[in-house]
């Protein structure tokens, strides 16, 4: 799960430097989500929380979104798991 949060963070690292969340790149699983959901996501990833806290908050957010977004998120997590398995360890572990 930490790898998923880290991957989300890497994909949208620019968000922290962006003037607002609308100018930041959108993770693929949120492409069909509402602007409100995207804003909530960016509010989570830019907080000074632990990886686990962010992970739990992202999971809780996605659980409130429609089935299309939930399916896209599940596919995203599967892709991250496949990458982790392919390379033996997560990027997070490599940079720790």
Per-residue pLDDT reduced to its tens digit, 8-43 = 555 544 444 444 667 788 899 999 999 999 999 999
Q: How far apart are CA 34 and CA 56, in angstroms?
A: 20
Element spanning 5, H or E: helix 2-11
Q: Say what the pLDDT of residue 89 is.
A: 62
pLDDT tens for each residue of 45-96: 999 999 999 999 999 999 999 999 999 999 999 998 888 888 766 555 665 5
Using the CB atoms, write b or e for 41-57: b if 16+ within 10 Å: bbebbbeeeeeeebbeb
Determine the pLDDT at residue 1: 56
Whole-angstrom distance, CA of residue 48 vs CA of residue 81: 25
- pLDDT at res. 17: 43
The confidence score (pLDDT) of residue 68 equals 96
């Amino acid at each position: 799960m930490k790898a998923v949060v880290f991957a989300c963070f890497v994909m949208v690292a620019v968000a922290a430097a962006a003037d607002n969340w609308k100018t930041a790149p959108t993770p693929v699983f949120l492409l069909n989500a509402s602007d409100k959901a995207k804003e909530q996501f960016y509010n989570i990833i830019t907080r000074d929380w632990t990886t686990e806290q962010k992970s739990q908050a992202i999971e809780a957010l996605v659980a409130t979104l429609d089935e299309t977004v939930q399916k896209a998120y599940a596919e995203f997590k599967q892709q991250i798991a496949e990458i982790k398995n392919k390379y033996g360890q997560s990027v997070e572990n490599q940079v720790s």
